[in-house]
Amino acid sequence: MMKAEEIMTQGVVTISGSATVAEAVARMKEKNLRALIVERRTDSDPYGMVTETDIIYKVAAYGYDPKQMRVYEIMTKPCIVVNPDLGVEYVARLFANTRIRRAPVVQGNLLGVVSISDILKKSDFVEKPKNNFELYCDENPSALEARMYED
């Protein structure tokens, strides 16, 4: 099973929570991105994320001035993060259950970002789909059924 670290995008673009929304929009346009990771203020702070949806729904829809609003006012924090060792199938299930499209990959520090596009383009789920029995065995390795076919 492929892991999140194998399909994640590295070289993550971040922004400070104190930056203006206009600065976030400029960075997103410059890098052709749909989201930015919001930097932690301290090591004990959780990561945040600001997305194009946040900007449209929370700023543009209400006519607020993006030059006056700060990223911390509209970002999602804390955001759901993914462990680099998490299997791609579990990342996909996490995304489906929480209705998110991307998440930072964190193990102490920020390692990358994994998105639904990464899952679709880089993972092997199309070539190697798992049937329900294989998924059950993976999730319940001590179950009798999972051990019946061991060599």
Residue 132 clears pLDDT 70, i.e. is over it: no
| 6-46 pLDDT tens trace | 999 999 999 999 999 999 999 999 999 999 999 999 988 99
135 assigned to some structural domain: no
Res 88: pLDDT: 93
What does the CA dihedral 54, 57, 61, 64 come to, rounded to 10 degrees?
-30
- List the domain range (segments joined by +) for residue 34: 4-126
Domain count, the chain: 1
- What strands, in cross-sheet order, belong to the sheet with 35-38? 14-15, 35-38, 48-51
The percentage of the chain sitting over the pLDDT mark of 90, rounded to a whole number, equals 77
- Give the mean pLDDT of 126-139: 65
Top pLDDT among 43 and 49 is at 49
Contacting residues for 16 by C-beta, under 8 A, at least 6 apart:
38, 39, 71
Residue 128 clears pLDDT 70, i.e. is over it: no
23 assigned to some structural domain: yes
| CA neighbor of 113 nearest in space, from 1, 4, 2 | 4
pTM across the whole model:
0.79
| Tokens at 71, concatenated | 């990223």
Res 150: pLDDT: 46
10 assigned to some structural domain: yes
- Give the mean pLDDT of 69-88: 95
144 assigned to some structural domain: no
148 assigned to some structural domain: no
Residue 133 clears pLDDT 70, i.e. is over it: no
CATH number at residue 61: 3.10.580.10
145 assigned to some structural domain: no
13 assigned to some structural domain: yes
